[in-house]
Amino acid sequence: MIGRCTHVVDCRETMGLGEGGGIAQRGTFAECGSDVLAVAMSPGRRHITKPVCEITFALREANVLTSTMILNAGAGTPSDAPGASGGFGLTDKEVDQMSQFKLLVIHLGGVKNHIIYKARLILRNVNCPCVIICEYPVDFEDFAKIGVKTSRVMPDEANEGVKTKGKIVDIVSGVIRGETCSQEKLDEIIRKVKLALGGA
């Protein structure tokens, strides 16, 4: 074939979930190169993983080899978040798999507390740069206040101090779970991911 790059990716560990979650079930790890890993929360009524598939396809079309992971326990909040519901966590296997990539693209939701504390738990365990994709308009300050390293603002030693190995290098907000991702947002994600990988 001329002018086309083809990837064959087995995207399911178990049966798909139907509307929006038809892409993959929890525990799925679809490997496609070792540059970028798109991490999605566990699918369910609130966590519709639809944009992750669109983001992954868009990145692959832009010649960024992107693997996908759907977390086993991606719902709820970490136990150390204020007013925590608990439930959110990582397995040792997930940490090992994430650690093999140059960049994480973590897709989170529309609740500020959930976004920042889930990101902190992941980056506390995984020493990788990361691009956050979410609905709620968070900024680097929000993460730095709870001890997450970022490329623009570092945590204040007098307050929380650094609590993560990994670092947030960019943020794309306004991506709604369960909704089709606009071309404008996909272009922004591609641009920021390529920049984070050292490209233009």
Q: Give the integer Cα–Cα distance in Å for 72 and 86.
A: 14
H or E segment at 56? Answer: helix 50-61
Q: What's the CATH code of the domain at 170?
A: 3.40.50.280
Q: Is residue 183 part of a domain?
A: yes
- Residue 112: C-alpha distances to residues 34, 135, 137, 138, 171 (Å): 30, 9, 8, 7, 13
What is the per-residue pLDDT across 54-89, written as a single tens digit (0 to 9) for each? 899 999 999 999 999 989 988 888 998 988 777 899
pLDDT at 31: 87
Q: Is residue 124 part of a domain?
A: yes
* Structural domain for 36, as ranges: 28-197
Q: Is residue 15 part of a domain?
A: no
Count up the domains in the chain and report the number: 1
pTM of this structure:
0.87
